[in-house]
A and B are shown apart, each in its own frame.
Chain A
């Protein structure tokens, strides 16, 4: 049951989604965990370059599993992940991951944490610190370079996680519920920053969340996954004018309609 529907025929950013080249494709992904837990079933998806695609679904639907398979951190039971048309089975420099629990090294400063991806690539210290400082500035954490993670708030820690992913200059950013461990005020601020960042960076984002509002607010495309075993149940491309202020967007007719639309689609999966 793969029902691909396009509820809103208008195209985002004036471009035709379908004509955009897909940078990542997954083909026939199945994931069965030991104990016959069927987490994902026959998932086929294309992720257009330069778009923000959200994986949305009830908890336990395998959306994080799918993201980790795309990242190369988990091996699918069957199926392939293609990055720019080439099959991959391990993490690679074209993908960078942002973790739900931040995954910062508590023994290292913000600067070293952000530069860690570059450190692993063998960049000289001066060079990687220079790049790290730039991405720390991008996420608005200048002045905190020498602090340790425990000295920062949850929202600031996730900014460090984001800066680390930006520093390696990957084409695709994979974000696993990045705001779920962050308080509401910080989450909203963070979402706005992410929208702004997309405009400048023109990277591809794949975003996992369980918040419908968050998905609609941020995404070009929303992939709805069904309950376990996770399957693609619907793909929605919200047509929201994001030129207004955050408050205007949240009161926008299309925004509210899309939220309602998705809720109706997900309702069947809620007990």
Chain B
């Protein structure tokens, strides 16, 4: 962006918004908006507490376990639906329903099933992420050039070779696109799960701050969470760019 002929550095618009926030905060119009400088100070304090790092560890570990499970099961489910007509007929509708349903509504049920702990968070990450991974994998598997499979068969490939050496590789661009979307949904899952369970991780902190009107801390934590979500999306985006190169040159 340029202003009066000067090239502004990236994210400089953010400074404008921070200034507006600071002014609104100092006017003390709404209790919900403390001045931005106060939020920053709270952020500095926050990252020095053991409680914050415990919560961060809980968040990251549950997120990672949930995502690994979602990727393994989602890819397997997608390949099954892409290759077996009966599986597609039987499961396709449900996968589509779950992929578009507001899954937050299910989290209270999960709490009953899995208790008020990390298990529920893992399951909600898993449930948020798996469906889109399965759908994209299915699309990728269904669009494999049939002659590639014929080729492998004609040179003597068994069933395992066909899956491991042809199908997974040929569908890789779609699988990775699904995983990227799955990551973004998984971040929502970990946050919503924690907020609803609200006795572990960031959910517990949010609960304490909002109940005690500690708005500086509340916003500081929100900033951390947004940064986490943005970071995950950026990392997966970088990975996908390298794969897109290959996807673009497919025959």
Chain A interface residues toward B at CB < 8 A = 68, 71-73, 91-93, 95-97, 99-107, 116-117, 119-121, 148-150, 164, 168
Contacts and interface: CB of A to CB of B under 8 A. Distances in A.
Contact of B147 (A91, A93, A101, A116): A101
Question: By DSSP majority rule, is chain A's interface helix, strand, loop, or mixed?
Answer: loop
Contacts of B169: 105, 107
Contacts, number: 65
Interface stretch (B107-115, B131-139, B149-157, B221-229): B149-157
Nearest to B161: A120
A150 B251 contact: yes
Contacts of B40: none
Interface centre among B145, B153, B155, B157 (most CB of A within 10 A): B155
A181 B246 CA distance: 22
20 contacts: A71-B154, A72-B154, A73-B150, A73-B153, A73-B154, A91-B155, A92-B156, A93-B156, A96-B155, A97-B155, A103-B147, A104-B251, A105-B148, A106-B250, A106-B251, A107-B170, A107-B172, A116-B152, A117-B155, A121-B156
The 6 A-B residue pairs with the shortest CB-CB distance, nearest first, are: A150-B249, A117-B155, A103-B151, A97-B154, A103-B147, A91-B154
B166 interface: yes
Contact of A107 (B155, B156, B246): B246
A264 to B, nearest CB: 34
A160 to B, nearest CB: 12
B155 A120 contact: yes
B164 to A, nearest CB: 11
A101 B146 CA distance: 10
A99 B161 contact: no
Given A73-B150, A107-B246, A149 B155 contact: no
Contacts of A103: 145, 147-148, 150-151
Given A107-B172, A149-B251, A97 B156 contact: no
A147 B154 CA distance: 24
Nearest to B152: A120
Given A105-B169, A150-B249, A150-B251, A120 B157 contact: yes
Contacts of B151: 97, 99, 103, 116
Nearest to B250: A106
Contact of B153 (A91, A101, A116): A91
A206 B8 CA distance: 68
A101 B145 CA distance: 9
B176 to A, nearest CB: 12
Contacts of A116: 151-152, 155
Nearest to A116: B155
A103 B146 CA distance: 9
A106 B251 CA distance: 7
B156 to A, nearest CB: 5
Nearest to B247: A106
Nearest to A93: B156
Nearest to A119: B165
Nearest to A73: B150
In the complex, which of the residues B165, B246, B251 has the most CB atoms of chain A within 10 Å of its own CB atom?
A: B251
B94 to A, nearest CB: 28
